[in-house]
């Protein structure tokens, strides 16, 4: 086997690859800045032209990610993801492992007939909603979902680009080397030839995360510069006095009382923000002093822990471990706690909330009034408001919009929830199905098909153009845009071929199974640092030649290459890994910790399947 001499360009590429991995591991730079650094250094060192270095910005993968994020935001705008999340919770309950398994399995099945990045991105809004609604860290669900989306591409021969190309690459080799396999005719793999291997890999991945996920995956970290952490900031300021959200169950023997009779706020400093009757079918938000609490009700309150414990003990109400009846309303995209300031000449000034019928008209719950350094908790409904007062309020986001449109109050935080458009659900689903049909039936390039769906949602005003731009995670875009040219440099300089031929030559005359193992590890490495398509194009002929030389089946060697191209879990270089990195709050070390074990299991299961399913 001929091996090319190492060149200056190869040395530069190896150094840049080492630099990128070092920066990923040490977190000295944000991952998107590492991508941009590679995009700049490759043309400056002369390895690539400027056009090649910025080609990643217009690549099929990057454009597809931008489009699918917009489509996902459009679907979320209609509220369809709420329905998907609710159905999953109804189906599997509130167990973290069951939810992780069902989501991962569902995405894997979808990924078996469409590109894995599309499957992961389209399902990510529902996954985020479930994790926040049930108070699970998104990091515990997104990485298993992402890994299973990648593995799902191995369930059929049309699930991933390497497997789609496999038969054509093997046939091309066969035409030139058929004599080395006794002139046997070429017989292509059928659609489900890889399915048993894919099922085994998927099963092991789900078991792996079910057993070890809590140890391997980080808890989501919430930073104060993140809009989604607004409640955390307020909790840090007001938590000891005002508290947090709880749900309580009123026992069957409890006699009926009004809130005025119970004196819950004066006695306990507990604010009742919701009362549900008839098993949750009848809900009252922002209840007034005349609202009745009776046997079988579910009560949604805001309270400090010491106060809720005292209320529970005195009244005999049961504190639920998590929200059940009010789970959907307690979801951060539906409701939250905000501060509002009474501005000069406000129509709130010199009036009490009782006079303004604040709760009844606006369905917003005042939790406290902050006047100077003093937090007023008692009699806030009859306290005369003054200019400069800060009112801490809880309510649904749509009610805050109504409040700000009619009252002179300045909210100190942006209203987080979006106004949903459920009446546009059919239209949004139409554009999603149109995009998938263009890609799968008419074989339109995926990026163009998805852009068509995204544009349809913008033109029909399902999602405004400005909101569509905001929906794109530009960190992910620039990360991939910078890594794609690094993979290109790895291939066109001959660096990948140099490593492959050196390693395979060093193996000598191995046993068939050892050869398959070496081929699998090499392909996984090239897919990780370059591209899975480039790795397969390069490795299939090399692997088939090596297999034919030692008298084993070259088609099995080619299949090992195509399946191993999906073994890309250790770094956030794969499109799916890059997509989930920011929403999951992951760092490179998290991929290395969870991905290393997954990669070893993946390779081991693949070798076992090859041993049992094929003759080598």
Name the region of 585 (left: φ>0; alpha: ψ -120 to 50; beta: rest): left
96-110, 132-146, 210-224, 430-444 — which one is most confidently predicted on average? 96-110
Select from 546, 551, 486, 489 the least CA-distant residue to 522: 546
Question: What is the reported pLDDT for 150?
Answer: 95
Question: What is the reported pLDDT for 147?
Answer: 96
Whether 64 has a pLDDT exceeding 60, the answer reads: yes
221 DSSP assignment:
P
- At residue 223 the predicted structure's pLDDT band, cuts being 50, 70 and 90, is very low
229 DSSP assignment:
G
Question: For residue range 307-337, what is the model confidence (pLDDT) as tens digits?
Answer: 999 999 999 999 998 888 888 788 777 888 8
Count other C-beta atoms under 10 Å from residue 51's C-beta. 9
Question: For residue range 466-517, what is the model confidence (pLDDT) as tens digits?
Answer: 989 988 888 878 888 888 888 788 878 888 788 888 887 888 788 999 999 9
User: Can you identify the CATH homologous superfamily of domain 335-411?
Assistant: Regulator of K+ conductance, C-terminal domain (3.30.70.1450)
The percent of residues above 70 in pLDDT, for the chain, comes to 94
* 39 vs 502: which has the higher pLDDT: 39
Whether 1 has a pLDDT exceeding 70, the answer reads: no
Question: For residue range 586-614, what is the model confidence (pLDDT) as tens digits?
Answer: 988 999 999 999 999 999 999 999 999 98
Select from 190, 200, 194 the least CA-distant residue to 112: 194
Q: How far apart are CA 394 and CA 260, in angstroms?
A: 20
Q: Is the dihedral of CA 369, 375, 380, 382 positive or negative?
A: negative
Question: For residue range 542-561, what is the model confidence (pLDDT) as tens digits?
Answer: 888 888 888 889 999 999 99
Q: Give how far Cα 603 sits from Cα of 360, 405, 524, Å.
A: 62, 60, 9
Select from 197, 191, 173, 308 the least CA-distant residue to 247: 308
Question: For residue range 235-291, what is the model confidence (pLDDT) as tens digits?
Answer: 666 666 778 889 999 998 899 999 999 999 888 989 999 999 988 889 999 899 899
Question: For residue range 386-401, what is the model confidence (pLDDT) as tens digits?
Answer: 888 999 899 988 898 8
Do 573 and 528 contact (CB within 8 A), yes or no? Answer: yes
CA 490 from centre of chain = 29
Residue with tokens 């590679």: 38
Q: Which helix (H) or strand (E) holds 125?
A: helix 116-133
Select from 514, 526, 612 the least CA-distant residue to 562: 526
110 DSSP assignment:
H
Question: For residue range 163-192, what is the model confidence (pLDDT) as tens digits?
Answer: 888 888 888 888 877 666 667 788 888 888
Q: Pairing state of beta strands 292-293 and 318-319?
A: unpaired
Do 391 and 342 contact (CB within 8 A), yes or no? Answer: yes
Q: Give how far Cα 442 sits from Cα of 101, 438, 439, 485, Å.
A: 33, 5, 6, 29
Select from 492, 453, 489 the least CA-distant residue to 43: 489
Stretch among 91-95, 168-172, 457-461 having the lowest mean pLDDT: 91-95
Q: How far apart are CA 546 and CA 530, in angstroms?
A: 22
Average pLDDT, the chain: 86
Return all residues near 112 (Cβ < 8 A) that are at least 6 apart.
152, 153, 155, 156, 158, 159, 198
Question: What is the reported pLDDT for 224?
Answer: 35
Task: Name the CATH code of domain 251-316 (choices 3.40.250.10, 3.30.70.1450, 3.40.50.720, 3.40.50.620).
Answer: 3.30.70.1450
Question: For residue range 382-436, what is the model confidence (pLDDT) as tens digits?
Answer: 899 988 899 989 998 889 888 888 888 888 777 776 677 788 889 999 998 898 8
Question: For residue range 337-354, what is the model confidence (pLDDT) as tens digits?
Answer: 888 898 888 888 889 988
Question: What is the reported pLDDT for 465?
Answer: 92
CB neighbour burial string for 181-191, b if at least 16 within 10 angstroms, e if fewer? beeeeeeebee
Query: Mean of the pLDDT values across residues 101-119?
Result: 85
Domain boundaries, the chain: 8-174+194-220+474-613, 251-316, 335-411
Domains 251-316 and 335-411 agree in fold: yes
């Amino acid at each position: 086997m001929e091996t090319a001499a190492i060149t200056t360009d190869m040395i530069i590429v190896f150094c840049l690859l080492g630099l990128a991995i070092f920066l990923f591991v040490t977190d000295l730079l944000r991952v998107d800045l590492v991508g941009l650094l590679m995009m700049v250094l490759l043309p400056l060192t002369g390895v690539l032209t400027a056009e090649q270095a910025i080609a990643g910005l217009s690549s099929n993968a990057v454009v597809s990610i931008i489009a699918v994020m917009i489509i996902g935001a459009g679907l979320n705008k209609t509220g369809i993801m709420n329905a998907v999340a609710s159905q999953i919770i109804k189906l599997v309950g509130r167990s973290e492992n069951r939810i992780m398994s069902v989501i991962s399995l569902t995405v894997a099945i979808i990924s078996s007939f469409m590109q894995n990045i599309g499957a992961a991105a389209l399902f990510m809004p529902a996954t985020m909603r479930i994790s926040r609604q049930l108070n699970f860290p998104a990091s515990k669900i997104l990485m298993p979902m992402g890994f299973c989306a990648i593995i799902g591409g191995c369930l059929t021969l049309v699930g991933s680009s390497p497997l789609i190309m496999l038969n054509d690459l093997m046939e091309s080799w066969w035409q030139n080397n058929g004599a080395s396999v006794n002139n046997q005719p070429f017989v292509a793999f059928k659609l489900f030839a890889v399915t048993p291997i894919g099922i085994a890999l998927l099963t092991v991945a789900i078991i792996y995360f079910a057993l070890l996920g809590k140890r391997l995956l980080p808890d989501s970290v919430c930073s104060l510069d993140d809009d989604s952490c607004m409640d955390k900031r307020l909790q840090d300021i007001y938590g000891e006095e005002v508290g947090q959200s709880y749900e309580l169950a009123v026992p069957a023997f409890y006699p009926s009382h009004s809130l005025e009779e119970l004196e819950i706020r004066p006695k306990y400093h507990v604010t009742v923000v919701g009362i549900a009757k008839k098993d949750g079918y009848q809900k009252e938000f922002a209840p007034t002093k005349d609202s009745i609490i009776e046997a079988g009700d579910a009560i949604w309150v805001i309270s400090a822990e010491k106060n809720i414990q005292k209320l529970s003990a005195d009244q005999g109400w049961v504190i639920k471990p998590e929200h059940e009846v009010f789970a959907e309303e307690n979801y951060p995209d539906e409701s939250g706690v905000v501060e509002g300031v009474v501005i000069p000449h406000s129509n709130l000034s010199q009036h009490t909330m009782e006079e303004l019928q604040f709760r009844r008209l606006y369905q917003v719950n005042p939790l406290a009034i902050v006047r100077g350094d003093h937090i007023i908790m008692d009699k806030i409904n009859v306290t005369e408001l003054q200019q400069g007062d800060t009112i801490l309020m809880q309510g649904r986001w749509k009610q805050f919009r109504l409040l700000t449109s009619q009252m002179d109050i300045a909210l100190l935080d942006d209203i987080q929830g979006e106004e949903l458009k459920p009446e546009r659900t059919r239209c949004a689903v139409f554009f999603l199905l149109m995009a998938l049909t263009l890609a799968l039936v008419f074989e339109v390039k995926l990026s163009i098909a998805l852009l068509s769906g995204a544009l349809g949602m913008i033109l029909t005003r399902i999602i405004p153009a400005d909101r569509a731009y905001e929906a794109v995670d530009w960190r992910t875009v620039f990360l991939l845009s910078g890594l794609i040219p690094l993979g290109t440099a790895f291939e066109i300089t001959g660096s990948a071929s140099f490593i492959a031929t050196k390693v395979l030559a060093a193996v000598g005359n191995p046993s068939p199974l050892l050869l398959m193992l070496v081929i699998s590890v090499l392909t996984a490495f090239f897919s990780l640092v370059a591209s899975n398509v480039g790795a397969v194009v390069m490795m299939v002929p090399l692997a088939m030649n090596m297999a034919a030389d030692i008298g084993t089946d070259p088609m099995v060697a080619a299949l090992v290459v195509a399946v191993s191209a999906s073994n890309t879990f250790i770094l956030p270089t794969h499109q799916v890994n890059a997509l989930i990195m920011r929403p999951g709050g992951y760092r490179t070390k998290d991929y290395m910790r969870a991905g290393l074990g997954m990669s070893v299991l993946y390779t081991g299961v693949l070798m076992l399947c090859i041993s049992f399913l094929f003759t080598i």
